A and B are shown apart, each in its own frame.
Chain A
Amino acid sequence: MNATLAIAGATFGEAIRKRILMVILLAALVIILISPAFEPFAGRGQRTLILSFGFGIIQLAGTFIAIIMCTGLIPTEIERRTIYTILSKPVQRWNFVVGKYLGAVSTLAFVYVMMGMVFMIVSRISLGEFDPKIAQGLIMFFFQSSLLAAVTLFFSTFVSPLVNYFLSGGVFLMGNLMSSFLETIQRNPEVTPLTRIPIQILTVILPNFANFNIQNPIINPEQVLTDEFAYLVQTVLYAIVYIVLLLVASVLVFNQREM
């Protein structure tokens, strides 16, 4: 465990010094800070504007940071030969993969805490109230990004970073759209089973990223999540189980990999 944590610490230390990640974080923070200034141009209420803007920016920044950070986690270590000095020590490959993932998730946690703090301060000042549900929404987006990081890490065990950008981005898009697409198809009686079944299978296989987006009930208090607590717990558990499965798959692929 010591080795896993040492690798996680080194990954975190390196990630928070990556210029591209910090530029994305900084840009997100600036946009959140100036979001109240857009009120005159928006046709919506102040609450809707501030919250939807903030959540949107945070989700976008979290998504980009997760993908950009994780595509290079393993290929870069191989290219720079750092991995050889690590794997020649008493470090199993699973230590390396899990350590890399924990380092990536720590970075995401850091990024979400920074963005979340600024978002909550801005919403408190602009709206004159603090809605604790904003924190719930942020936590759900954090789990969404952590799941996306696991998907990207899995792909990084066997594809190049460039291919990984498209694969992970594609999985994220499809994972956000598949469930609503399936609902539309199921409501349409003209769709044949030949079309419906593959989409159903794909919906089961691909991680459902849409479930983590609970910003609508937060922005519009009249929309209520039925059995909110159970929904949140289920969604978080879904993320954890999916992440564990992806890490197991990553370790299995990486164990066979020759570098």
Chain B
Amino acid sequence: MKTPLALLVAAAAASLCMSRAAAELRIITVDTSLADIARQVAGDRASVESLARPSDDPHHVVARPSMIVKLSRADVFARIGMGLDMWADALLDRSGNASVQPGGKGYVDCSRGLKALDVPSGKIDPSMGDLHPEGNPHYLLDPAQGILAAGNIAAALIRVDPSGQPYYHSRFVQFGERVKAGLQRWSTALKGLPNRDVVPFHRSWAYFLARFGLREFGVLEPRPGIEPSPGHVGALARLMKQAGVKVVLCESFRSKRWPDLLAGQCGAVPAFVPVAVGADPQAGSYIAMFDTIIERLVGAAG
């Protein structure tokens, strides 16, 4: 009896020590885009890891126990929030890490300070599809909101590691300037589009379209999260043909079946674009991801 008890006590002591012996900060993010933004801010003062893979849909990540191990040892946890990554809540509950629980100093909801779009009003119900009561959660597809996320992450890093404030602040400002330079470049590239209407697969693009003055002509999903039907696709194709809409915008993790069907019926071109860092060989960073998106969008628009 004494031996198992001694082992348990030793393990408890090891548990306490491990939480204090970290040589560098550990940042865990829900997806790879936030991971890249965190890397830009934290530099070499932290290691960064994403829970989701680049090819995952951020709505539907399968929570796995190995993710709990990562969260249990994290100093900072950064999430997209707004109900997009609810799968992470079960992991947080199990992690036993007070620092990264909501309200903890290492917990970051990167949507903090966002002026949300598509906030539903009145009563909503499941017949309307998978609506998010707090608004459209795909704000990271507006590169400018990457600055907001970076600021929230930098603030958490300073809470956890106050001595690094000048370093994090400086890197945050540098990241902000790179995004601003990118915004000039991307705006210029999109200025010449012959038709500013696009048809996305899912309503992920509200922030992106608003940023670059593009318009959502229609959506391939009849309602968020609901599978398209041939009837809906046919009706949408007729309207697109009449209006001369040429671009179907689709996240690269989705099946090509419906976008190809729609594009084939109206002579449009599907643009399959990465929406997470690493989802495409060209999308190696948050900024490179937008270079790829814009390049493919302009290419599809002809």
Q: Do A and B bind each other?
A: no
